[in-house]
Amino acid sequence: MSDAVITPDKRPEAPGPNELRDPFVRQELKRAAVWIGMAVAVALIALLSQPLLIIFGGVVFAAMLDGGTRLLGRVIKIGRGWRLLIVVLGVVAFLVWVVMLAGSELTAQAETLTNVVTTQVDKLMSWAKMNHLLENAGGAGEIGKQVMGSIGRVTSALGTAAGALTSGVMIVVIGIFLAVEPRLYERGVAWMFPVRSRDSFYETMSAMGFTLRRLMAGRLVGMSVEGVGVWLLLWAGGIPMAALLGVLTGLLAFLPNIGAIVSGVLITVVGFSGGWNAGVYAFCVYAVVQTVDGYLVVPTVAKKSVDLAPALVLGAQLLLGALFGLLGLMFADPIVAMVKVGLERGSKKAAENAGEIEVPSA
C-alpha cells in the first residue's frame, strides 16, 4: 500500500518529515543515532578514563597471574586453583619482603637519592648559566615541574600517595578476581554480542590473552634483568644506593623507552656524585645493561609475543600519558598490543568473509 495521500485536487503527496513511515526519515534518524552514540561514548571514555584504566590494569595483572599459573602447570601437576593460589602467595610474599625487610633501607636511600639528584641538577644548571648555555633556568624543582608537564598531567586519582595506593589495590583485586574465573567474565562480555559474532569474539579474546601473557612475561624478564644487573654491577663498583637504583631501574623497565631514559639519568647523576670515575662507571653499567636487554632479551621475547615498533610505543606513551596521566603512560604498551591484535583479527575475518584468503580446514 502506497504512503502517498490523495489531495482534493487528485494529486498524490508524499509523507511529511515528521512521519516515521518515510524511509528517508528513518534512515536519517538511524544515522543521527549512530553519531550521537559515538559522541556519548567518547564523552564517557573521557569522563571515566581513570576507572577504565584501573580495570584494564586489572586485566593486565590477571594476565600476569594466568601466565604464572600456566607456567607452574608445566612443573607441578595440580589443579589450576591451587597453582593460582601459589602464584598469588608468591607475589604477596615478595611485596611483603620488599616493604618490611628492605623498606627501611630503601626509604633511607630514597631520601639520600632526592638530595643527591637535587644537588647535582643544581650544579649542572649553574654550570650551564655560567657558560651562557641556558638563560633564566630554574633549579631542580622547576626542571621537575617542566618534565612532568611535558609528559602529561598527573590525574587526581593518582595525585596523592593514598590515591596511588588505592588504585594499586583495586588493580590487584580486580586482577585476582579475573584470574580466578576468566571464562565467567568472558562469557558475560560475549553475551552482549550477536550469537553469530560470538565465535569470532572468543577467538579474538584468546589471541589477545595469549599476546598479553607473552608481553607481560617478557616485561617481567626485562625488569628482572635490568634491576638485578644494575644492582649487582653498581654494588661491585662501589656506587652508593645500588640497591635503590636497582629497584627503581627494574620498576621503570615496565615503561619501555621512557623508563630507560629516567633510570639512566638517575644512575648517571648518582654516579657522578662520587666523582668522575664513578660517574663514567655508572654510565657504562647503564649502557651495558640496556644493550643486553635491548639486543638480547627484547628481540627474543618479541619473536614469541608481539613485535611493536619502538616509535609506535613511544608515541602511544606520550599521547596516552598526556591524555590520561600516569596510568595511561603505564599501560600504553599493552593497549597498543591489544589494539594491534584486534585490528589484525578484524582484517583477517573481513578477508575470509570476502573470500580473499582460504580458511584452513579443521
Report the C-alpha gap between 166 and 223 in whole angstroms: 24
Q: Which three cell numbers stand for residue 326?
A: 600516569
The answer to whether 337 and 316 are in contact (CB under 8 A) is no
Strands (E), 57-134: none
- Amino acid at residue number 103: G
pLDDT at position 135: 59
Angle 49-52-56 (CA atoms, 0-180°, nearest 5)? 130
The answer to whether 333 and 215 are in contact (CB under 8 A) is yes
Report the C-alpha gap between 94 and 305 in whole angstroms: 26
Distance between start and end Cα atoms, the chain: 50
Report the C-alpha gap between 270 and 272 in whole angstroms: 6
- Amino acid at residue number 326: L
pLDDT at position 159: 45
- Amino acid at residue number 176: I
pLDDT at position 154: 39
Distance of CA 39 to the CA centre of its chain: 25
Q: Please give the C-alpha separations between residue 58 and each of 44, 80, 171, 202, 351, in angstroms, as whole numbers.
A: 20, 19, 4, 20, 33
> Tens of pLDDT along the chain (362 residues)?
455 555 555 556 555 555 566 677 677 778 888 888 888 877 877 777 788 888 888 899 998 898 888 888 888 888 888 899 999 898 888 877 776 655 565 666 666 666 666 776 676 777 667 766 665 555 545 545 444 444 444 334 344 556 667 778 888 889 999 888 888 888 888 888 888 878 888 888 888 888 888 888 888 888 888 888 888 988 888 888 788 788 888 888 887 777 788 888 888 888 877 778 888 888 898 888 888 877 677 666 655 566 677 778 778 888 887 787 778 888 888 888 888 888 888 788 777 777 655 545 44
Report the C-alpha gap between 273 and 271 in whole angstroms: 5
pLDDT at position 16: 56
Give the number of other Cβ atoms within 10 Å of residue 16's Cβ.
10
Q: What are phi and psi of 13, to 5 degrees?
A: -125, 140
Q: Please give the C-alpha separations between residue 51 and each of 65, 155, 179, in angstroms, as whole numbers.
A: 21, 12, 19
